[in-house]
Amino acid sequence: MPTVSLVSSKKDPAEDPIQCTIDKGQTIYDGFIQHGHELPHGCLAGSCGSCKVEIISGMENLKPPGVIESDTIKSILGTCKKRPLNPIRLACRAKVLGDVTLQVFECP
């Protein structure tokens, strides 16, 4: 089963990542909530963008985004003043196929 690691966006190197073993095909959000870790969220349907995460590694281990997720990500990138260093995905939509490392993307 894939392992998804959530690293802190506060850049504290002493802080260990939260790691969850997630069923293949499960969304990042569902996998974390199953292990008692709640990620920021809103609609859980791919349209509000509240669950945006930056994929630090393992982008190839996520199922490609659908139309709704792609449109929401385009909207986020079009309005956010901060540029992400890595690709953005939505935790409520991104389905895990292999190991992934991510952090919550905060858009000021």
Binding residues for ligand FES (CB under 6 A)? 41-44, 46-51, 72, 90, 92
Closest CB to ligand FES among residues 25, 42: 42
Select 72 or 103, whichever has its Cβ closest to ligand FES: 72
State the Cα–Cα distance between residues 97 and 62, nearest whole angstrom. Answer: 5
SS3 56: strand
Question: What separation, in Å, do the N-terminal and C-terminal C-alpha atoms of the chain show?
Answer: 34
- Residue in 37, 28, 8 with CA at minimum distance from that of residue 90: 28
Of 2 and 29, the one with the shorter C-beta distance to ligand FES is 29
CB 40, min distance to ligand FES, A? 8
Is 28:20 a contact under the CB 8 Å cutoff?
A: no
For the CB of residue 16, give the shortest distance to ligand FES in the complex, in Å. 25
